[in-house]
Amino acid sequence: MKSKIYITRKLPDYIIKKYEEKYEITMWNQAETPVPRDVLLKEVADADALFSTLSEEINDELFEVGKNLKVVSNLAVGFDNIDLKAAHKYGVPVTNTPDVLTETTADLTFALLMATARRLIEGSKCIEENKWENWAPFMLAGTDVHHKTIGIVGMGRIGEAVAKRAKGFNMNIIYHNRSRKADFEIAVEADYYDFDELIEEADFVVSLLPLTNETKEKFNKAVFKKMKNSAIFINVSRGGVVNEGDLYNALVSEEIRAAGLDVFADEPIQNDHPLVSLDNVVALPHIGSASVETREKMINLCFDNIDAVLSGKKPLTEI
Ligand code: DGY
């Protein structure tokens, strides 16, 4: 009998086909909408493997129902949707998708930084709304990226890839992390700063922090107050690391210049979200790793992890 894999989103047939010969694959029938909780709990009851996304809460309740589960393979590098203690308690290994999305997410981080600094979305809207009447010396004048100081908070693989891009723009690179990275510092001529020092010094503050109890709302009123009035805040990690009300106030009171956000505390957001009403915010719908090539790699890695565990081997990227 084939082992059952339950997948919480509809994935393209050309990918699924490769695995169907070996496994019984059941999928939620929609790509854009998360599986309802009751359907998930029903499906997981007889599944050997769960292929999940960041939209599902993987917790005690789920493991309690999923008595056959041998692995949970999560389509993301971040894993704040997973209660690892519960997984451990039930003896189920959990995997994520590191490395394969590093460069793509760094590209998006830099794109967001540039779009925010140079007001690209405002410029595009200006034409769309037929508001471009004349050229003017300071029309949509943004701020330079080159030769500015980028402060990266959370220096993992994506942070390093962002720093390499920043070096190409002749930026001064400073970073804060739980541990120092000597080789990286030499390779991109980066300097390690205390969090508070970085916040005060950086022209661009880039958050790549995972969401944990320690990082929850790390960027709050007091932190935004310490930033330069000209600072631009970029967040591509998790919305929960920011107090969004405090960010809104900091932007409105011009304590900081602008923000580029790919992630929000409670996703998905709608256009009535206060931050979206601000011209100095560039908001994206959590598309950091969303290139076709990378999403295919992430999906394949999820399957490789499942395949390894169901074949009695060690998962490739266990958390
Ligand atoms: C991740 O991998 O954690 C991203 O946020 C989702 O692609």
Q: Which of ligand 1's atoms lies nearest the C-alpha of 96?
A: 2
Sign of dihedral through CA atoms 39, 42, 45, 47?
negative
pLDDT of residue 66: 97
pLDDT of residue 40: 98
Residue pointed to by tokens 């999820």: 302
Structure tokens at 17: 């086909």
246 in Cβ contact with 235 (< 8 Å):
no
Residues of the chain with pLDDT under 50: none
263 in Cβ contact with 237 (< 8 Å):
yes
Structure tokens at 105: 């997410």
How many angstroms separate the CA atoms of 195 and 242, rounded?
A: 15
> What mean pLDDT value characterizes the chain?
97
238 is known as an active-site residue = yes
pLDDT of residue 148: 98
pLDDT of residue 31: 92
pLDDT of residue 234: 98
pLDDT of residue 134: 95
How many angstroms separate the CA atoms of 250 and 253, rounded?
A: 5
Cβ contacts of 225 within 8 Å, gap of 6 or more: 250, 255
- Nearest CA to 97 out of 136, 65, 54 is that of 54
Query: Can the peptide bond before residue 268 be classed as cis, meaning omega within 30 degrees of 0?
Result: yes
pLDDT of residue 121: 97
14 in Cβ contact with 296 (< 8 Å):
no
**Given ligand 1 and candidates 101, 235, 294, which is best to mutate, with the most ligand atoms within 8 Å of its CB?**
101
Q: How many CB atoms lie within 10 A of CB 135?
A: 6
Å from CA of 299 to ligand 1 middle: 12
Q: Which of ligand 1's atoms lies nearest the C-alpha of 286?
A: 5
How many angstroms separate the CA atoms of 26 and 314, rounded?
A: 24
pLDDT of residue 92: 97
How many angstroms separate the CA atoms of 31 and 8, rounded?
A: 9
Sign of dihedral through CA atoms 231, 232, 235, 236?
negative
Å from CA of 212 to ligand 1 middle: 15
pLDDT of residue 286: 97
